[in-house]
Structure 1
Amino acid sequence: MNTHRATRPRLLLAAFAAGSLLLATACGGDKKPAQDEAASAPASTAAAAPTATPTPTPTVKPTGADDPALKPFYGQQIAWAACPPDAKAAEQKIDLSLMKCGKLHVPLDYTNPSGEAIDLALVKNPAAKQDQRLGSLIVNPGGPGASGVETVKFGDKQFEGTLHNRFDVVGFDPRGTGESSPVLCLDDKQRDALNAEDSPLDPAEAKTRSDKHSADFIAACQAKSGKLLPFVGTRNTARDLDVLRAAVGDQKLNYLGISYGTYLGALYAEEFPKTVGRLILDGAVDPAEQGLDSSLNQIIGFEKSFERFAVDCVQNHADECPLGKSSDKAAKKAADFLDGLRDKPLPTKDGRKVGSDLGWTGVTALLYGDEKTMWQYLRMSLLLAMKGGQGDGLLGFADMYNGRDDKGHYSPESEALVAIRCADGASPAPSAEQAQQAVQKLQQEAPLLAKGVSVEDFSQGSCVSWPFKTPEKPHTVRAEGAAPILVVGSTGDPATPYAAAESLAKGFANATLLTRVGEGHGAFGSGNGCIDAAYAAYLTEGTLPAAGTKCS
């Protein structure tokens, strides 16, 4: 799932305020709704935490390939070789025989290149028409924390046609994710227990529990990944991206960033404008947006998507819709049922119970998709739950969202998400006036997903107790001197609402906005021929769509 990861929407505000790390979303606006990784531990925990070497602010430009200390990294030759056996690929009958795997060597700390280094996992799907090859297309699928290696391995059909014909499609796992020194914190049993919990309705009890979870989570991350945590911020990954560009032999970076990957692409353009080739930033995050605004906009985005789904269910799929006959009441009927799972959880075949939070998580996962595909699975999952009394459908998609496989093992994506977004900066607590305005906005525009929210839910900012601080702040990215950039937004995107794409494109010194009219998060892989043609023309010929182009 290509996303800027959002949290379970009903829990977002409690997470934002109380710091429940695994229930929070990313501070820039992306995968599952608004990622504000609030990390609020007791003061004693925060006081004892070490402080990282600060990442330079956007005004301090690294010298990149011109830095003598970095020349060994920029000059490295990737030892591409056959990819090792992959059980997941074998199970899905995916042929990896033409793909190549490798490693990229990068400094852990770019302010000390002669110190410790780490290896980043890579995969390359070589251009199908080598005689027409234009270079490499490097891909980041979002998260933060999603695996670029898995995106290329298991999403190869999305690149079929012009893109794969003309480019080596290259995926990488960013530092702290996947197979690239992943951030590790909790074990599988601990993750299962946390995901199965319904957050308490009582605000004081909820805060006490959240503070304990946050303190335990921070301690676990420090114990297992403390050396890595100061260096997983996006600006360091942008520097890795430039090293990768040079190592694959490209003078300019050709890049497809989706969701959080648009934030990475924007910071790359800011750091290295002279080496920007053709950048597609799809499902855009707005780097200038404050964390609270991002959270609110994402909650509202998912509310609106949920409402549109419910109306479509009643009006167009009555034979398989469990939401009654009234379009006006359908969304509330579903929300009341999901809220009721707190007291009457659903059974599943593997013995786990689906409570309210897990049920809402499954719904959130399916709202990332468009009306032609994932909404069908959402109807079926709700039908099985509401009419059949079984939670297997909702649980399966909640597991997918949470990174849990059918053997009970979790991917490191959620923990990397927290580490990366908190390393990218903390958000201060809103003022009393801002908190009141936020509550009013949610009560008016997202009453189902933000049911019961109060001013007290905004008592703290995000990531305030995360031990590693950087001076990153929300800011407009201009990328003066960069080649033209293509920004893409979808009008029905719940995770990164369309307004963020408008803002990102407007902020750049040289960018064009392409609009996809439709539901779901991200335009790439949506099957929209207009979008596919625009991507192909831009990447192969440098031809941008006309200003104001909309793909229906």
Structure 2
Amino acid sequence: MRTTSRTFGVLVAAVALVAGMTTTASAAPEGDFRPAPVDWSPCPELPEVECGTLRLPVDWSRPRGAKFDLALARRKATDPAKRIGSLVIHPGGPGTSGVEFAFAAPGWFSPRLAERFDIIGFDPRGVGRSSPITCSADLVARRPSTYPTTQAGFEALGRYNRDLLADCRARSGPVVDHADSRSVVEDIDALRRALGERKISYYGLSYGTLVGQQYAERYGRNLRAMVGDSNLDHGTDAWKFNEGTATASEDSFREFVRWCDTTVTCALHGRDVGAFWDDLIARADRGEISEPGDPTRPVTADQIVDYALLSFYDPSWTQLSHWLVARAETATARPADAPGAARTDEVVAFPFIPTFCQDWQIRPRSLREYTSLLRRADELAPHMSRAFLGHQVRHGCVGLPDATNPQQRPRFDGAPKVLLLNNLHDPSTGYGWAKSLHRQTRPDTVLLTYEGWGHGSYIRTDCVRDTADRYLISLRTPADGTRCAPAESPELPIPTSARTTAPRPVRTGW
């Protein structure tokens, strides 16, 4: 999945079923490695936050082998007399910085939680400051067609994926092959021990919910409380994962259309939005759309679909409508012929594929299987099937080795009751995944539904926020099936108490 500069303002702003686990992460008992205490000091970027590192094994089955430094950030409880313990946070991705999430914590978590918990973020292995996975920018840009029409084209896609992974490995080292969520789980429990905590509380957002689920499976006895916000279902096979991403994105498109039909601030109000969209995408496919003011900079159909998907995260529908109209009014001009761009040795952060493809056994083995997935996505999402969340999953793991941490039915035996939060109209982690996860984990989970839009539930309304805070502080779960009404305006869903001028972490992936 491409890295994007969209921030957590975009949230408010980047998956065959296999029985049994083959990962090596759980092979090492926790007593085989003793982490040193963290040496905290003021963060250079934000001195009111403490930063540190934790030296950990790259391969948890070989705890005496190669090591990497896990980057950490801590906001200490603002009222030490009321302190409950540590709240470990994970903002998702794969590829999003938990250190940056801790920097921005006042804009996300309530003052009530800040009083009672040390809020601790970390950059997961392979991300940000934690031995980042980087790859050749030139190679990333040279991906062959992801809509092959021949077996040869499909095989070329597999060769490309293997070459790209080899390049990432050569540049980034062995962490590339140990970026799965089970390894991150071991890192979190080592962090717990380094903090001297008998139990931790955990808040996982989006892809962070998968890490949290797997922590609850392996180390449930070490959890005090856990909130999963915008949930992935690791018990779903490749076909249903494909259907889930398509259904979620198309549902948000329909909600955007419904809003435009009834809202005069939509730049498309009074028009057939679906017909407008189809025409815009067709023109982009013919190379007829450009950036406003620069006819030499074409805008592709994929770029339009991706921008729309990211706009659904807030949602920021008014902005999206004006953005679409502005591009529909452009035309492209053929740029002057120029020699091909010289290749460089520039690198880009690219943790999504190495992580995702180790966590999910999604490997179309033939052109027929691959095109069946594409066709099904088109059926379910005629306007949004190209959206990168689903499409990169379909093509990014083709030809790669089997997943080391493949899907399995989640089991939370030994963990405390887990609170699941999900929006009814989430463009990324669709509500169907939350319902499926809850159905598989009853009575160990409670599901709270926010009946609104966007990605990320905790920050939506006081109803959601207060319920989650009450659980994290007092361990009182709401009644299963609790629902919170949507905010009056889908575009202004953040309570005043949550707004801040603090920087927000970069958003990539889920």
TM-score range, shorter chain: 0.7 to 0.9
Q: Does 1:420 align with 2:359?
A: no
Choose 340-349 or 113-122, whichever is displaced more. Answer: 340-349
Aligned to 1:336, which of 279, 283, 289? 279
Shift of the alpha carbon at 1:495? 0.8
Q: Write the distance in 1 (CA, Å) between the matches of 2:161 and 2:363.
A: 17
Q: Which residue of 2 aligns with 1:378?
A: 320
Q: Write the distance in 2 (CA, Å) between the matches of 1:438 and 1:464.
A: 12
Q: 1:99 to 1:439 in 2, by over 3 A?
A: closer
Shift of the alpha carbon at 1:312? 1.0
Q: In the alignment, is the contact (CA less than 8 A) between 1:489 and 1:502 conserved in 2?
A: no
Q: 1:355 to 1:212 in 2, by over 3 A?
A: farther
Q: In the alignment, is the contact (CA less than 8 A) between 2:425 and 2:431 conserved in 1?
A: yes
Aligned to 1:346, which of 263, 283, 290? 290
Q: Write the distance in 2 (CA, Å) between the matches of 1:119 and 1:243.
A: 12
Between the aligned residues of both structures, percent identity stands at 27
Aligned to 2:420, which of 470, 482, 487? 487
Q: Which residue of 1 aligns with 2:381?
A: 446
Q: In the alignment, is the contact (CA less than 8 A) between 2:450 and 2:484 conserved in 1?
A: yes
Q: In the alignment, is the contact (CA less than 8 A) between 2:85 and 2:197 conserved in 1?
A: yes
Q: Does 1:465 align with 2:384?
A: no
Q: Which residue of 1 aligns with 2:23?
A: 55
Q: How does 1:490-501 map to 2 (within 5 A)?
A: 490-501=423-434
Shift of the alpha carbon at 1:536? 0.8
Q: Any idea what SS the aligned residue of 1:257 has? A: strand
Aligned to 1:365, which of 304, 310, 314? 310
Q: Which residue of 2 aligns with 1:519?
A: 453
Shift of the alpha carbon at 1:475? 1.3
Q: Does 1:77 align with 2:24?
A: no
Two-structure CA RMSD over aligned residues (Å): 3.3
Per-residue CA deviations over 1:154-212 (Å, capped at 9, x if unaligned) read: 3431123211121111110010111100111123x555x459x9867866796476456
Q: Which residue of 2 aligns with 1:298?
A: 245
Aligned to 1:231, which of 178, 186, 201? 178
Q: Which residue of 1 aligns with 2:8?
A: none
Q: Which residue of 2 aligns with 1:535?
A: 468
Shift of the alpha carbon at 1:320? 4.2
Q: 1:137 to 1:81 in 2, by over 3 A?
A: same
Q: Which residue of 2 aligns with 1:27?
A: none
Per-residue CA deviations over 1:289-330 (Å, capped at 9, x if unaligned) read: 01231122111211121122022123213x5423x624xx41
Q: In the alignment, is the contact (CA less than 8 A) between 2:206 and 2:230 conserved in 1?
A: yes
Q: Write the distance in 2 (CA, Å) between the matches of 1:498 and 1:78.
A: 38
Q: How does 1:31-70 map to 2 (within 5 A)?
A: 32=14, 55-56=23-24, 62-64=28-30, 67=31, 69-70=32-33
Q: 1:339 to 1:438 in 2, by over 3 A?
A: same
Aligned to 2:64, which of 98, 114, 139? 114
Q: Any idea what SS the aligned residue of 2:174 has? A: coil
Shift of the alpha carbon at 1:99? 0.6
Code of the aligned partner of 2:221: K
Q: 1:449 to 1:157 in 2, by over 3 A?
A: closer
Q: Does 1:321 align with 2:256?
A: no
Shift of the alpha carbon at 1:431? 9.2
Code of the aligned partner of 1:424: D
Q: Write the distance in 1 (CA, Å) between the matches of 2:400 and 2:125.
A: 18
Choose 167-176 or 341-350, whichever is displaced more. Answer: 341-350
Q: In the alignment, is the contact (CA less than 8 A) between 1:427 and 1:461 conserved in 2?
A: no
Q: Which residue of 1 aligns with 2:300?
A: 355
Q: Write the distance in 1 (CA, Å) between the matches of 2:40 and 2:308.
A: 40
Q: 1:114 to 1:530 in 2, by over 3 A?
A: same
Q: Which residue of 2 aligns with 1:551?
A: 484
Q: Write the distance in 2 (CA, Å) between the matches of 1:541 and 1:199.
A: 49
Q: In the alignment, is the contact (CA less than 8 A) between 1:198 and 1:355 conserved in 2?
A: no
Q: In the alignment, is the contact (CA less than 8 A) between 2:363 and 2:400 conserved in 1?
A: no
Q: In the alignment, is the contact (CA less than 8 A) between 2:154 and 2:366 conserved in 1?
A: no
Q: Write the distance in 2 (CA, Å) between the matches of 1:315 and 1:107.
A: 55
Q: Does 1:278 align with 2:238?
A: no
Per-residue CA deviations over 1:518-537 (Å, capped at 9, x if unaligned) read: 111120222x1111101110
Q: Write the distance in 1 (CA, Å) between the matches of 2:451 and 2:191.
A: 34
Q: Any idea what SS the aligned residue of 2:108 has? A: helix
Q: How does 1:165-176 map to 2 (within 5 A)?
A: 165-176=115-126
Say which structure, 1 or 2, has more relative contact order (CA 8 Å, 6+ apart): 2
Q: Any idea what SS the aligned residue of 2:134 has? A: coil
Per-residue CA deviations over 1:94-127 (Å, capped at 9, x if unaligned) read: xx23111110121111111111211111111111
Q: 1:168 to 1:410 in 2, by over 3 A?
A: farther
Q: Any idea what SS the aligned residue of 1:143 has? A: coil
Q: Write the distance in 2 (CA, Å) between the matches of 1:464 and 1:139.
A: 31
Code of the aligned partner of 1:314: D
Q: In the alignment, is the contact (CA less than 8 A) between 1:426 and 1:464 conserved in 2?
A: no
Q: Write the distance in 2 (CA, Å) between the matches of 1:332 and 1:120.
A: 49
Q: Any idea what SS the aligned residue of 1:247 has? A: helix
Q: Write the distance in 1 (CA, Å) between the matches of 2:413 and 2:221.
A: 9
Q: Any idea what SS the aligned residue of 1:321 has? A: coil
Q: In the alignment, is the contact (CA less than 8 A) between 1:427 and 1:462 conserved in 2?
A: no
Q: Write the distance in 2 (CA, Å) between the matches of 1:512 and 1:298.
A: 23
Q: Which residue of 1 aligns with 2:53?
A: 103
Shift of the alpha carbon at 1:474? 1.5
Aligned to 1:156, which of 102, 106, 110? 106
Q: 1:194 to 1:385 in 2, by over 3 A?
A: farther
Q: Write the distance in 2 (CA, Å) between the matches of 1:524 and 1:194.
A: 39
Q: Write the distance in 2 (CA, Å) between the matches of 1:428 and 1:200.
A: 15
Q: Write the distance in 1 (CA, Å) between the matches of 2:481 and 2:439.
A: 13
Per-residue CA deviations over 1:492-533 (Å, capped at 9, x if unaligned) read: 01211111111222322511111111111120222x111110
Q: 1:222 to 1:440 in 2, by over 3 A?
A: closer
Shift of the alpha carbon at 1:385? 1.6
Q: Which residue of 1 aligns with 2:495?
A: none
Q: Write the distance in 2 (CA, Å) between the matches of 1:140 and 1:299.
A: 25
Code of the aligned partner of 1:489: N
Q: Write the distance in 1 (CA, Å) between the matches of 2:427 and 2:42.
A: 39
Q: Write the distance in 1 (CA, Å) between the matches of 2:405 and 2:149.
A: 34
Q: How does 1:143-292 map to 2 (within 5 A)?
A: 143-187=93-137, 191=140, 193=141, 207=154, 210-211=157-158, 213-292=160-239
Q: 1:543 to 1:273 in 2, by over 3 A?
A: same
